[in-house]
Amino acid sequence: MDRRDFVGMGLAVGAVASVAPARSAPANAAFKPGGALDAGVLQQQELMAAGKLSSHALTSQYLARINSIDKSGPRINSIIELNPEALKIAREMDRERAAKKLRGPLHGIPVLLKDNIATADRMSTSAGSLALVGVRAARDAHVVAQLRAAGAVILGKTNLSEWANMRSTHSVSGWSGRGGLTRNPYALDRNCSGSSSGSGAAIAASLATLAVGSETDGSIVSPASICGLVGIKPTLGLVSRGGIIPIAHSQDTAGPMARSVTDAALMLAAMVGVDPADAATLDGAGKAGDYAKALDKGGLRGMRIGVARDFFGSNDELDAVIERALKALAAQGAVLVDPVQVPNVAKYGDSETEVLLYEFKANLAAYLKDYAPDAPVADMAALIAFNEKHAATELRYFGQEYLLRAEAKGGLDSQEYLDALANNRRYAREEGIDQVLREHRLDALVAPTGGPAWLTDFINGDHYGGSFSTPAAVAGYPHITVPAGFVHGLPVGLSFVGAAYSEAALIGMAYAFEQATLHRRAPQFPASVSLAVK
């Protein structure tokens, strides 16, 4: 494939609303782990430092792999658009390296962004919606500016659950009107979860070194777990929300998705920073840890970890995997407090939804005014009307119930909203996670992140099984998932949740567990699960 072919791949690859039958990859497309494309950040940097690899060559190889794995072969369909400037950026990073001007660990490293993260370049930022196809952001999201300053090569945008899965009560994760359906590399007929579906599938399939996801409740950790990855949902305000197409400012955050704890930690270090336009980052100023230093194989020694048993029980085989993980934690020196109960979880189920609906309406209008003033829609009402006008494509599989409910809400001065928000913060924070950590003198909580991937179902929608995402999501506290094993060949993750700004400690624990177990295996793109495989 020559340079003209790569440039041609910079055109949008989305706008595929149909769902083609799943099929296995041809033999020559089978995943071959161990090469530069599957390597981590530090290994790729070693190769570039030794002159055995360049950023341009690495970016070119990822583009070729996207063509053979994402757009043909198994066609996992994780990339919604490629950056036509990616090779140019890579070449500039190589020039800087030759001039001894290294920006840090991400210098020349290809990174994918979820397509709700604004980039002031030739790519759209659409949240997967046909309403924003061709709409270019007025400026970079703050996190994109941070990554560019760190030397990352922005390779493209990933598909997602449209509007970050806040459109329908019967949605199918990983499907968007613009991008179609993203398939799970571990079984093509199964779901990647969402809403960072494309980011999860792409990194699992080694289509880039790193990806950025975003989470309101589960949208990083769930697809990371289901795709056999490490995902970090940071404390609210550690990473700027500026320029990310929003759902709710009280819960939204971006975070890294990677094949190892090391890669996720290095990426998080590049993403954090104070954004004068985001007040939450002002509260987080000076609270970032030394995430590289936290990568310690002894990171579990002496840590008191509470086992949140209320989040077990959705799947017997999953529970068996997590029981083995608990033994591994103890073997590495952790002190398990088993069981513990996260109190008052049931008290913010309904109020969480209320807050999301109120904030989605207000936050979407503010984003469109600030970052996409030329978009054909300016607010929730206009978006609803657009979808109704284009119902044959946008509403072909499920509706827009959440959009309609959000539009019916009042402003952020509504007493109903203020009461719901206060309820969330009380019961998720001081009378939730803070309380259980304090009472048992815990450093972290652990539980299964969620169940294995389910069959994609366009008739009945998603069926998740269990999930441990909500307490940390509503509290705005950090949550890390790490590969813990497999259920019938499908990855599942172990979650570590802690107090606000405890990312460094959680990274240390996650790293020690990862290095002691090394559960991650590369996907092989089977058409379906083999029940003979445990």
Three-class secondary structure assignment of 455-510: ECCCCCCCCCCCECCHHHHHHCCCEEEEEEEEECCEEEEEEEECCCCCHHHHHHHH
Task: Give which of 244, 246, 292, 330 is closest to 503, Cα–Cα.
Answer: 292
Which residue in 171, 173, 206, 219 is the catalytic one?
219
> How does 185-203 read in b/e, with b if 16+ C-beta sit within 10 Å?
bbbbbbbbbbbbbbbbbbb
- The one catalytic residue in 129, 168, 176, 195 is 195
Question: Exposure of 492 by Cβ count < 10 A (0-12 exposed, 13-18 middle, 19+ buried)?
Answer: buried
Please report, to the nearest 10 degrees, the dihedral formed by the alpha carbons of residues 60, 61, 66, 72 taken in order: 110
Residue 206 neighbours by CB distance under 10 Å: 23
Got the DSSP string for 30-92? S--TTSTTT--HHHHHHHHHTTS--HHHHHHHHHHHIIIIISSTT----EEEE-TTHHHHHHH
Instruction: List the structure tokens of 152.
Output: 């990352």
pLDDT grade, residue 264 (50/70/90)?
very high
Q: How confident is the model at residue 530 (pLDDT cuts 50, 70, 90)?
A: confident
What does the pLDDT look like over 76-96, one tens digit per residue? Answer: 999 999 999 999 999 999 999
Under 8 Å between Cβ of 492 and 476: no
Which H/E stretch holds residue 158?
Answer: strand 153-158
3 state SS of 357: helix
Our answer to whether residue 71 is catalytic in this structure is no
Cβ-proximal residues to 498 (8 Å cutoff; 6+ apart), any chain: 437, 443, 444, 445, 477, 478, 505, 506
Question: For 111-124, how does the pLDDT look when each residue is reduced to its tens digit (9 = 90+)?
Answer: 999 999 999 999 99
Is 114 tagged catalytic? yes
Return the structure tokens found at 96.
């800087």
Cα 382 to Cα 121: distance, rounded to the nearest angstrom: 25
Alpha carbon distance 95, 101 (integer Å) = 9
* Greatest alpha-carbon span in the chain: 62
Residue 40 has pLDDT above 90, yes or no: yes
DSSP 175-224: EETTTEE--BTTBTTB---SSSHHHHHHHHTTSSSEEEEEESSSTTHHHH
Q: Which of 169 and 1 is assigned the larger pLDDT?
A: 169
What percent of the chain stands above pLDDT 70? 93
Q: What's the pLDDT at 11?
A: 28
Domains of the chain: 3-7+36-287+297-517 (3.90.1300.10)
Options 54, 60, 78, 114, the catalytic residue: 114
- Which pTM was predicted? 0.94
Question: Known catalytic residue: 240?
Answer: no
Q: Give the residue from 259, 264, 334 showing the smallest Cα distance to 504.
A: 264
Of residues 6 and 235, which shows the higher confidence score? 235
**Please, what is the end-to-end C-alpha distance for the chain in angstroms?**
39
Average of per-residue pLDDT across 155-172 = 98
Residue 1 has pLDDT above 90, yes or no: no
Model confidence band, residue 531 (pLDDT cutoffs 50, 70, 90): confident
What CA–CA distance (Å, rounded) separates 499 from 506? Answer: 10
Mean pLDDT score, 261-267: 98
The residue behind tokens 């813990």 is 484
Q: What pLDDT shows up at residue 465?
A: 84
Say how many CA atoms lie within 13 Å of 197 toward its Cβ: 33
Task: Of 188, 110, 106, 38, give the one whose Cα is nearest residue 490.
Answer: 188
Q: What is the pLDDT of residue 526?
A: 97
CA distances from 115 to 20, 46, 128, 352, 394 (A): 22, 30, 7, 24, 17
What does the pLDDT look like over 386-402, one tens digit per residue?
999 999 999 999 999 99
Mean pLDDT of 30-47: 84
CA distances from 312 to 132, 286, 309, 316, 341 (A): 40, 36, 5, 9, 12
pLDDT, mean of residues 332-361 = 98
